[in-house]
Structure 1
Amino acid sequence: MAKDQEDVVKPARMKIINQASIIIVVAIWLLAAGFFRHLPADVPIHFNWQGAPDHVGSKKLIFILPVLATLLNLLLGYLARHPELHNYPVKITKANSASWYERSAWLLFIVRLIVSAIFLVLTLIVIVSALRCQSDKLFYLLTALVLAIPAGIAWVLIRPLSSKPS
């Protein structure tokens, strides 16, 4: 990536969002590892629409969530840092590249943060449900986070940028 693209992709607020995403993924790993020995042999791995577990699996499956969160975080982070690889609805020129690259990078950083938070809540739901505790409120949080994805996309698309895409 060229130096001017790097400046567009990494303003201070993006660095904060990037660090928050990383902290959330680390928290997912710490939760899974920290609660692993306290979990029963079988943990819920699937839930119905009412939030009740309807499938169980080995407690080792708790580590699938941090693995997937890590892989998605790495992929979305890489793509956010390389907006020149993205598809755009217009031809990218030297005149419009900075604003389109900024918009695309913001979009992926926001989605990365929300996806990380979704995996954190999913990990909490599995742990809380496995320990036979109430997890209803976590499902409301999960729903809010899932709805935050289109809201985040809309925010990125309508917010003013340093220069307007052409």
Structure 2
Amino acid sequence: MIKHPKIPVPKTLTEKIHDISAVVIILGMIITTFIYWRELPQQIAIHFTQESPDQFGGKWVLLLNIAIAIIIYTLTRILARFPHLLNYPGHVTEENAVKFYKNGKLLISWINIEIVLIFALIHWKTIQISLSENSFLDSFNLLIGFVGIILTMFIFLIRIMLIK
């Protein structure tokens, strides 16, 4: 295992905004769930194929969505505290470590907020579908979210590769 220098790198403003936004979004998921909890049927759509539901489960699955979003958020924030453990496409030295680490932490922050947004979208759409006759899940929005994550990784890979 390659040992990178351990250099503390403070959070950027963008990371702080992402953290606050992710917490607000997760709190919104929790609040929304409890607002609609009594109105929701006991069985809700939990899986979709070709944009229509094909599996149903208890409404407690919504709580699982929230739990997964919280776990992913927490684990990625912990990972961002240890940027020297990440694998970088280049030689990390004392001179360039801060640049590598800032970019690595920022990449994690962007992906984190994108994943939380995707979970919030799925959560909200599940509630909407469960409360109406409409069984349409707009997979285009999810596709945009996943393409966004891939583009983010690509952009940061280029940024990190340009570090000397």
Q: Is TM (by shorter chain) over 0.5?
A: yes
TM-score when scaled to structure 2?
0.87
Q: Counterpart in 2 of 1:130?
A: 130
CA deviations 1:99-147 (Å, max 9, x no partner) are 1101110110000000000000110121111112546474322221111
Contact between 1:83 and 1:101, CA under 8 Å: does it hold in 2? yes
Q: Counterpart in 2 of 1:60?
A: 60
Unaligned runs of 5+ in 2: none
Relative to total residues, which structure has the larger helix share, 1 or 2?
Answer: 1
Q: Counterpart in 2 of 1:5?
A: 8
Aligned-pair identity in percent equals 25
Whether 1:42 and 2:43 are equivalent positions in the alignment is yes
Contact between 1:99 and 1:165, CA under 8 Å: does it hold in 2? yes
TM-score when scaled to structure 1?
0.86
CA deviations 1:35-63 (Å, max 9, x no partner) are 11110010011000x21010001111111
1:58-137 paired onto structure 2 within 5 Å: 58-134=58-134, 136=136
Whether 1:143 and 2:147 are equivalent positions in the alignment is no
How many angstroms apart in 2 are the aligned matches of 1:87 and 1:81? 14
Deviation at 1:91, TM superposition (A): 3.5
Q: Counterpart in 2 of 1:165?
A: 163
Q: For residue 5 of structure 1, give the secondary structure of its aligned residue in structure 2.
A: coil
Amino acid at match of 1:71: I
Amino acid at match of 1:86: L
Contact between 2:103 and 2:159, CA under 8 Å: does it hold in 1? no
CA deviations 1:40-96 (Å, max 9, x no partner) are 010011000x21010001111111100000000001111122211212233422112
How many angstroms apart in 1 are the aligned matches of 2:69 and 2:149? 16
Structure 1 pair 20–59 and aligned structure 2 pair: CA distance change class (3 A): same
Deviation at 1:159, TM superposition (A): 4.4
Deviation at 1:32, TM superposition (A): 1.8
Contact between 2:15 and 2:106, CA under 8 Å: does it hold in 1? yes
Amino acid at match of 1:5: P
